Amino acid sequence: MTDTDHPSDQMPSIWPGLWETNNRGPYIVGSCCKHCRTVTVGAAGICASCWSAAGYEIMEIGRRGTVYTYTQLHQAPSGFRTPMTVGYVDLQEGPRIFAHLDPSEAPIEIGQSVELSVSLLRSDADGTREYGPLFVPAQEQP
């Protein structure tokens, strides 16, 4: 990892540690337990599977996934623009995460193959601007 792996000051993360970006584009931060190799998103100090405190190897995951389910929200917490499409995406490496989905190019469907981008998800009148995962339908569907 280099310093450029982190969201920049211009793109503060909506949930610190959830995503990063490098020259191959954005990715979800996977934590692979050094002891039992279980891959999770949002790992804590001790592995939930084997209780090892040996630490994690950071893995670049979630560049592709499959829509498990979704909804279009017409009422959302402050700072989010409506309508907004959100859903659960099964990452190709296993974990399932909640994320935003982009229906502007192609309608979102269950089972659809999607690709990760990172986008402005939340902006408040006080100047808060937060970026996070936005999946878009993949060019090539399986």
Partner 1 sequence: MMSLRKVGIIGVGLAPFDNYPDSVAAEIAFPAIISALKDAGVDRDQVQAAFVAHLYQGEVFGQKLLKGLGFPRLPILNVENACAGGSGAVHEAWLSVAAGLSDVVLVVGVEKMAPGLIKFTKFDAEVAMGNVAPAQYAMAAKRHMHDFGTPPESFGNIVVKSRRHASLNPNARFRDPVTLDEVLNSRAISDPITLLQCCRNASGAAAVVLASEAWCRRNGKASVWIRGIGLSSFFKGDPGRDLTEFGGTRDAAHAAYEMAGIGAEEVNVVELHDAFAPGELLHYEGLGLCAKGEGARLVADGDTCLGGRVPVNVSGGLLSKSHPVGATGVAQFAELTWQLRGSAESRQVEGARVALAHSQGGTALDVGATAVTLISRD
Positions that interact with partner 1 (CB under 8 A):
14-15, 18, 41-42, 68-77, 80, 84, 86-88, 90, 94-100, 110-111, 121-122, 132-133
Task: Work out how close the CB of 87 gets to partner 1 at its nearest, in angstroms, rounded to a whole number.
Answer: 6
Q: Measured between alpha carbons, how far is 140 from 36 in angstroms, rounded to an integer?
A: 34
Nearer to partner 1, 6 or 96 (CB): 96
Rounded to an integer, what is the distance from CA 99 to the centroid of its chain? 6
Nearer to partner 1, 108 or 115 (CB): 108
Task: Work out how close the CB of 106 gets to partner 1 at its nearest, in angstroms, rounded to a whole number.
Answer: 17
Residue 122 in contact with residue 129, Cβ under 8 Å?
Answer: yes
Nearer to partner 1, 25 or 42 (CB): 42
Q: Measured between alpha carbons, how far is 60 from 32 in angstroms, rounded to an integer?
A: 10
Task: Work out how close the CB of 60 gets to partner 1 at its nearest, in angstroms, rounded to a whole number.
Answer: 18
Q: Measured between alpha carbons, how far is 57 from 50 in angstroms, rounded to an integer?
A: 15
- Return the sign of the alpha-carbon dihedral for residues 31, 32, 33, 39: positive
Nearer to partner 1, 21 or 112 (CB): 112
What is the tally of helices (H) and strands (E) in the chain?
A: 0, 9
